[in-house]
Amino acid sequence: MDATIVTLPGDGIGPEVVAEGVRALEAVAARFGHRFDIRPALLGGCAIDATGSPLPDETLQLARDADAVLLGAVGGPRWDRPDATVRPEQGILGIRKALGLFANLRPVSIHPRLIDAAPLRPERLIGVDLLVVRELTGGIYFGERRREQLPDGGERAVDECVYTTDEIVRIVRVAAAAARTRRGRVVSVDKANVLETSRLWRRVSSRVMADEFPDVRFEHMLVDSCAMHLLRRPADFDVIVTENMFGDILTDEAAMLAGSLGMLPSASLGTLHSSAGRPVGLYEPIHGSAPDIAGQGIANPMATALSVALLLRMSLGLAAEAAAVEAAVWAALDAGIVTADVAAPGAAPATTGVVGRAIAAHIAG
């Protein structure tokens, strides 16, 4: 097949891991006879430096016209001044919103080799296989923000959290449909004992589940309790659906179940479809730009490679190709070709490039 894939390497370790993602894509193209037109574009801090904007119009246009987008990470101390009015993160939030990518899927499972890399006791980790469905274009991330001077010389800052019925309905549907292909269970996470948005979330999600998904087992959980149960009994979870900020926080926590933040991919899907009728998605590792290790060649490219697998499966409909990439990542893990974040104690870690080349070589067969 012919497909156009826009890459947004971004900042920090983003370019290093995306380079390995592209290497995996090229290996897939060669092995399976596809033609991927890979077009890099600017997003985040590098885009601010080059154009003044964290999300240049050209990047957005390229992404809109693509079949899928592969993102690295954005941000870093260079652009982090508290008084800055343009910030790299506006690029990532802006592209999610502009492309209508309201559903962020973050699967978490643990490869047996990584059980020792995870901080939890091994017996807690057996059977962990969950999917967090994070609402991505609403909530406090996109509410009104303002800062006011107070007469006493202090300041007042406001971040508004907003959700509408429709926003809740569509994300709950994504989660419930996913549960039907998995173990048939959804936990909806909110803070309904405090927040009005959560009370609406609870009512709407209950109705959607009862009316449309009576076959899916459904329960509500408060976010603080969920944070605790994720550590106490992670294997009990199948699909978790939650609002934007709770999903951000819980997925960093859940990443620790997988041994490292460097292992977790994500897919963001929405309403945009390609001319072939497939969902245009944005795929990215859930880790950040990790400026402290940028440029050292030690970042783990596996989350990006696994994001490439999601891209192939969900936006291009290439299931065998996706499975080949995943198998290549597991093979590199089995062979102990891993970066420092997941290396066994005392074992020599491999560089980003060595891991990426091992993955590509395995894809090539």
Site for ligand IPM, residues 160 to 179, rule: CB under 6 A: none
Q: By beta-carbon distance, which residue lies closest to Mg ion?
A: 248
Burial class (CB in 10 A: 0-12, 13-18, 19+), 232: exposed
Is 92 an interacting residue with respect to ligand IPM (CB under 6 A)? yes
**Closest listed residue to residue 92, CA positions, set 71, 107, 112, 108:** 71
224 is catalytic: yes
Residues 62-81: x/- map of binding to ligand IPM (CB under 6 A)? -------------x------
Q: Residue 191 catalytic? A: yes
Strands 265-269 and 2-10: unpaired
Which residue do the tokens 């919103």 mark? 97
Q: Which is nearer to ligand IPM, 310 or 328 (CB)?
A: 310
Partner whose footprint covers residue 259, from ligand IPM, Mg ion, none (CB < 5 to 8 Å by kind): none
Contact criterion met (CB below 8 Å) for 274 and 37: no
Q: Which does 257 bind (CB under 5 to 8 A by kind): ligand IPM, Mg ion, none?
A: none
Find the shortest distance in angstroms from Cβ 89 to ligand IPM. 4
Question: Residue 43 CB, nearest distance to ligand IPM (Å)?
Answer: 11
Marked catalytic residue, from 11, 67, 141, 163? 141
- Quote the tokens at residue 102: 């309201």
3-state helix, strand, coil in the chain (%, to 5): 45, 20, 35
- The reply to whether 105 sits near ligand IPM by the rule CB under 6 A is no
Q: Which helix (H) or strand (E) holds 239?
A: strand 239-242
Contact between 243 and Mg ion (CB under 5 A)? Answer: no
Q: Is 163 a catalytic residue?
A: no
Residues 244-263 close enough to bind Mg ion by CB under 5 A: 248
If we measure between CA atoms, which residue out of 60, 22, 79 comes closest to residue 288?
79
Minimum CB separation from Mg ion for residue 128, in Å?
A: 19
292 carries an active-site annotation: no
Exactly one of 166, 224, 292, 334 is catalytic; name it: 224
Q: How far apart are CA 254 and CA 13, in angstroms?
A: 21
- Positions marked active-site: 141, 191, 224, 248, 252
